[in-house]
Amino acid sequence: MADPQTIARLYAEHINPGLVRLMHFAGVDQMEVRAEGVYVYDGEGNAYLDFLAGFGALNFGHRHPQIVKAVEDQLSRQPLSSRVLFNEVTARLAHRLSQITPGNLKYCFFCHSGAEAVEACLKLARLSTGRKKIVSMNGGYHGKTLGALSASGRHLYRAPFEPLLDWFTFVPFGDCSALEEAVTEETAAVLVEPIQGEGGIIVPPDDFLPFARKVCDRVGALLIVDEVQTGLGRTGRNFAIEHWGVAPDLMPLAKSLGGGVLPLGAAVGTEEAFRPLFDKPLLHSSTLGGNPLACAAGLAALEVLESERLAERTFHLGNLLIHGLNNLKNRFPDFIADVRGKGLLVGIEFADEDGAALTATMLIKRRILTAYTLNNPKVIRLQPPLIVEEHHISEVLSAFEDALAEVRSLIAQLA
Residues that bind ligand PMP (CB under 6 A): 55, 113-115, 118, 141-143, 193, 197-198, 226, 228-229, 254
CA dist., res. 76 & res. 60, Å (int): 23
Q: What backbone phi and psi angles, to 5 degrees, belong to 398?
A: -75, -35
CB nearer ligand PMP, residue 284 or residue 367? 284
C-beta of 121: minimal distance to ligand PMP in Å?
A: 10
- Helix (H/G/I), strand (E/B), else coil: 170: strand
Helix residue spans in 34-183 (DSSP H): 53-56, 65-77, 88-100, 114-129, 146-150, 155-158, 176-182
Smallest separation, CB 130 to ligand PMP (Å): 25
By beta-carbon proximity to ligand PMP, the closer residue of 221 and 228 is: 228
Give the separation between CA 212 and CA 413, rounded to whole angstroms: 50
Least distance from C-beta 251 to ligand PMP, angstroms?
A: 11
Contact 387, 38 (CB under 8 A): yes
Minimum CB distance to ligand PMP, residue 408 (Å): 31
> Which is nearer to ligand PMP, 149 or 407 (by Cβ)?
149
Alpha helix stretches (DSSP H) within 26-64: 53-56
Q: Which is nearer to ligand PMP, 131 or 142 (CB)?
A: 142
- Shortest distance in whole angstroms from residue 54 CB to ligand PMP: 10
**Which element (helix H / strand E) includes 190?**
strand 187-192
Angle between helices 310-331 and 390-414 (to 10 degrees): 30
Shortest Cβ 343–ligand PMP spacing (Å): 15
Nearer to ligand PMP, 103 or 153 (CB): 153
Which residue number, 90 or 136, has a Cβ lying nearer to ligand PMP? 136
Q: How far is the CB of 185 from ligand PMP (least distance, A)?
A: 27
Residue number with CB closer to ligand PMP (66 or 145): 145
Cα–Cα nearest to 308, from 319, 295, 317, 321: 317
Number of neighbouring beta carbons within 10 Å of residue 130: 8
Nearest to 392 by CA among 310, 306, 324: 324
Query: In terms of Cα–Cα distance, which of 51, 56, 50, 53 is closest to 240?
Result: 56
Nearer to ligand PMP, 61 or 114 (CB): 114
Collapsed DSSP state (helix, strand, coil) of residue 368: strand
Give min distance, CB of 143 to ligand PMP, in A: 3
Which ranges of 84-173 would DSSP assign to H, the alpha helix? 88-100, 114-129, 146-150, 155-158
- Cβ atoms of residues 244 and 94 within 8 Å: no
CB of 111 to ligand PMP, least distance (A): 10
CB of 414 to ligand PMP, least distance (A): 33
Instruction: Give me the residue whose beta carbon is nearest to ligand PMP.
Output: 114
Closest CB to ligand PMP among residues 287, 330:
287
Query: Going by DSSP bridges, is the β-strand pair 187-192/133-137 parallel, antiparallel, or unpaired?
Result: parallel
Closest to ligand PMP by CB, 193 or 349: 193
Bridge partners (DSSP) listed for residue 134:
168, 189
Q: How far is CA 138 from CA 149, 210, 367, in A?
A: 12, 19, 34
Q: Is the peptide bond before 163 cis (omega within 30 degrees of 0)?
A: yes
- Cβ nearer to ligand PMP, comparing 20 with 195: 195
The least distance separating ligand PMP from the CB of residue 356, rounded to whole angstroms, comes to: 18
